[in-house]
Amino acid sequence: MRSVTIRDRETNEILIKVLHRTNGQIENLTHIKMSGQLKIQIRDDQNCLTTYYPEIKQKAGKNRTRIKIDEADEVFSQYIRYRDKKCVRCGSPVQFNGVKPVSHQASHYFGRSKESVRFDPENVDTLCFGCHRIWGSDDKEGYRQFKIKQLGLAGFNQLQVRSNRYKKKDRKMALIIAKELLSEVRQEDSFQTSFGGGSSLSEARGGIG
């Protein structure tokens, strides 16, 4: 018979204390404390105490903090897709219902958790679902190379610097700016349609080629 005590490593608080009839191996600890800051003490039949500190890794998908998408994000996404009008990787066209884009996604090179570039037009591109999945996981280096080509090395480095700056969350102002950007790109598109000539923003930004 063994005495097994599981403590919080930082506070030394006892989380579980049991008599264990097996070889002292402790399993399925993730339900006890997801942080992995555990201290386990096993006292055997001869009253010898053994202490060890297992690192319990949080399982993927468990207790992940989801980024909440609000109205400012939705309007900004419309602006990005209206601006580009196509997937910048494969060139597939964005579908519209009137003037509202109803296909593709706004891809953040530096994720939405980076508040300083969450609404930065240079940080976000239009991608179809498939290309978003590829550049978001399978080929991140390909996305980086595209951004360097798109912005230039100096521009890419400046974007990286901006992504690491602190910015206080202000969704009211972000929504105002997003609406203004969307209005401007629609007006520009309407002007080009009416009078012709000139290069649109989507043509200037280009694709992967």
Give pLDDT, residue 198: 54
* pLDDT tier, 28 (very low <50, low <70, confident <90, very high otherwise): very low
Q: What is the pTM of this model?
A: 0.65
Position 127: which residue type? L
Helix/strand/coil for 10: coil
User: What would the pLDDT profile of 146-189 be if each residue is shown by its tens digit?
Assistant: 999 999 999 999 999 999 999 999 999 999 999 999 999 999 88
Q: Mark whether 41 and 80 lie in a shared domain.
A: no
Q: Which residues constitute the domain of residue 136?
A: 71-205
Q: Where are the beta strands (DSSP E) in 21-78?
A: 38-43, 49-52
What does the block give as tokens for 207? 């694709």
User: What would the pLDDT profile of 59-110 be if each residue is shown by its tens digit?
Assistant: 444 545 577 899 999 999 999 999 999 999 999 999 999 889 999 999 999 9
Inside any domain, residue 11: yes
Q: Mark whether 47 and 142 lie in a shared domain.
A: no
Phi, psi of 87 (to 5 degrees): -70, 125
Q: What is the DSSP string of 118-147?
A: TT-GGGEEEE-HHHHHIIIII-HHHHHHHH
